[in-house]
Amino acid sequence: MFAWLRGFAVRSGVGAVMIAVIALSLWLCHWVLVALIAAFMALAVHELASAAALHGHKPPWVVVAIGGAGLLIVEYGGWLGDIFTVGFIGCALLILVVMAWRLRGPVEGYMTDVGIAALMIAYLPLLLTFVMAIMRGAHPVGQMATLITVTVLGGDSGAYIVGSFIGRHKLAPHISPAKTWEGIGGAIVFAGVAGTLLGIFVLGAPWWQGALLGVVLGGIGAIGDLVESAIKRDVGVKDMGKLLPGHGGAMDRLDSILFCAPFAWAIMNLWMAQA
């Protein structure tokens, strides 16, 4: 019990510091947060490449890291037009650059390396385009606070707490033996409560819309976490890195947020009524 409390305290403390940094960046200068997101994305690309290297793969990760970070900055700056047009075309061009760049190496492993790099592009800069869209929207502070709080403090913490205490039925033991159906239920309930409160007091939306937002993000975030677990199980690592005590690497922290971002953007901007 003491070990669990200590681990939870470390995990919660690091999470609180991350949220405080994000909140301070949103309050002082949005460009600071954009730069942090771009840097975090580049670190996550490096972590994925390092994991792939354990099986002898050598995707051109530097191209993805630099190109993806630059793309996020251009998207937020709004210098080349609509953010989604720029994001989708930019990711397509980045894949072409990767395919051409990899020609410099041996033919053996070409398809695998390009495929891994394409996965990195779809997983990180493409999905983070929706985060940039939230940042450039009419309610960036409230919506970013909602996305991070519901996903991290709601879904992730709910899954961890409930799964640790009453988790009995394995969700997908072939992917992650520690994840349980009870943990998923905890994620959905905690995220639903967080979404309800943030919907009312931050977004100015009806309580039921905030609750639905939370439930959706709680479930989608759990799937995102499971996807990253499958990648880690495939390459044989427990965590993608050691950047954040109690959380792992940058990829370990981004996994659920990446999956939730498109749904959060769509719900909050295309359906939810906001004051």
pLDDT in tens, 144-160: 989 999 998 888 888 88
DSSP 8-state class, residue 127: H
Report which of 178, 171, 162, 155 is spatially closest to residue 239, judged by C-alpha positions.
Answer: 178
**Please, are residues 45 and 61 in contact by the beta-carbon 8 Å criterion?**
yes
And the tokens for 107? 């033919």
Average pLDDT of the segment spanning 120-146: 94
> pLDDT tens digit string along 167-191?
788 988 888 888 899 999 999 999 9
Give 108's pLDDT tier (boundaries 50, 70, 90): very high
Query: Angle at the Cα of 171 (from 166 to 173), degrees rounded to 5?
Result: 110
Number of domains comprising the chain: 1
Q: What is the pTM of this model?
A: 0.91
What interhelical angle do 207-235 and 250-266 show, nearest 10? 140
Structural domain including 240 reads 2-271
**Rounded Cα distance, 223 and 175, in Å:** 12
Q: Is 18 exposed, middle or buried (0-12, 13-18, 19+ CB in 10 A)?
A: middle
Strand partners for 176:
172
The amino acid that residue 169 corresponds to is H
Strand, helix or coil at 171? strand
**Please, are residues 118 and 92 in contact by the beta-carbon 8 Å criterion?**
no
> pLDDT tens digit string along 220-273?
999 999 999 899 888 888 777 676 655 567 888 888 899 999 999 999 998 876
Residue 261 has, within 13 A of its CA and on its CB side, a CA count of 21
What percent of the chain has pLDDT above 70?
91
Output the pLDDT for position 144.
92
Output the pLDDT for position 275.
47
In this structure, the chain runs to a length of 275
